[in-house]
Copies of this chain bind each other. A is one copy, B any other.
Amino acid sequence: MIHERHLFGPGPANPYPEATAALGRPLLGHLDPAFLDVMDATCDQLRQAWGTTSARTLPISATGSAGMEAAFVNTVHPGDVVVVAVNGLFGQRMCDVAARCGAEVVAVEHEWGHPVDVERVLAAHPAPAIIAAVHAETSTGVRSDIAALGAGKGDALLLVDAVTSIGGIELRADDWGVDVGYAGTQKCLGVAPGLAPFTINDRAFERRVERPQSWYLDLGLLGGYVGEAGAAGGSGGRTYHHTAPVAMVASLHAGLTRILAEGLPAVWDRHEAAGRQLQDGLEEMGLELFAQKGHRLPELTTVRVPDGVDGAAVRRTLLERHGIEIGAGAGPYAASVWRIGLMGHNARPDAALLVLSALREALASA
């Protein structure tokens, strides 16, 4: 049975049609010259999406959470102090992952729904090896100021989660001083989940762990896999590391081609407009937004479930009546918050209108 869904939750979003079409094309071998061209082109496109010139920019062959693990496992030496800005679920996860790499974690806790307090994070330790933060917290719908962290990081490496920001809001890794970044494909990039766009600059790569505890995510080995020499202008020789998920890479390439044809600033504007329309509409309905004003993500809106309303029942109604998925809240806000995403292909006025209308209808009968 085929189910058609409007994926208006925190991800995955409905992919761009071009990304879906690419999944159905004839499969190529992972060492086929035609596939290596696709991989090279995808890495080039990812550099644009990240706002970086770093040669070591690639799609890691697993989902976004593996990107987080790749970031820490390659940069944390045992005993390193890692300051983590925790303002939601993914900051918490960073602490867990970093600790498993042997880090001495200094967690800087924030109230959920608030952005990272840059001053407090920078003052948390006199000489951290790494400062880590989430650009767009998927659990709360909050944007934090990565550029300010980069400006104040000193000798530390800045490690950033861009899972829900890449392809949706402004992201300038090089300008902002991001040394290591990871993302996902299933949010604003508008591609199915399964890859983790990743970037690491020379500064971080030079300080890397020579033989990380993960073989699969060892960036020293992955350089040959994506033909890093080629990316840097060299001969592009490849080393077999693992079999690339060729269909997913082809799909990411197609999604990025669509995004870059539209132009990143236009894509960001489109997300901004759809998010504003949604958030204004929710407030007009008398609903209360959860994320702090001035720091709300346009691509992912958090809204409080009205008193006396069964949030899960409303979500079920939307799914069953209209095939619309919206998300529950995360962690302690699972029952009291909804998360509504208008990401990638869904960042459109008609999608905003549809989810507003459907929610109004469902609340009227709740």
Contacts and interface: CB of A to CB of B under 8 A. Distances in A.
Interface residues of A, number: 58
A69 interface: yes
A215 B247 contact: no
Interface stretch (A6-14, A104-112, A144-152, A153-161): A6-14
Contacts of A325: 29, 32
Contact of A26 (B3, B11, B31): B3
A184 B62 contact: no
A309 interface: no
Contact of A12 (B7, B20, B27, B63): B27
A133 interface: no
A186 B28 contact: no
A34 to B, nearest CB: 5
A5 interface: yes
A248 interface: yes
How many copies of the polypeptide does the oligomer hold?
A: 2
Contacts of A97: 215
A192 interface: yes
A21 interface: yes
Interface string A45-63: 0000000000000000111
Given A194-B248, A243-B63, A246-B12, A5 B23 contact: no
Nearest to A184: B243
Given A20-B24, A62-B216, A246 B211 contact: no
A29 B2 contact: no
A15 B24 CA distance: 11
Contacts of A96: 215
Contact of A214 (B3, B69, B243, B248): B69
B12 A26 contact: no
Contacts of A93: 215
Contact of A61 (B21, B68, B194, B247): B194
Contacts of A242: 63-66
Contacts of A30: 12, 193
Nearest to A326: B29
A26 B23 CA distance: 12
A224 interface: no
A29 B21 CA distance: 18
A244 interface: yes
A25 B11 CA distance: 17
A27 B20 contact: yes
Interface of A: 1-5, 7, 9, 11-12, 14-15, 20-21, 23-32, 34, 61-66, 68-69, 93, 96-97, 100-101, 184, 186, 192-194, 211-216, 241-248, 319, 325
8 contacts: A1-B34, A4-B26, A5-B32, A62-B66, A63-B245, A66-B216, A193-B245, A193-B247
Given A69-B216, A100-B213, 5 more contacts: A20-B24, A32-B325, A62-B216, A63-B244, A65-B215
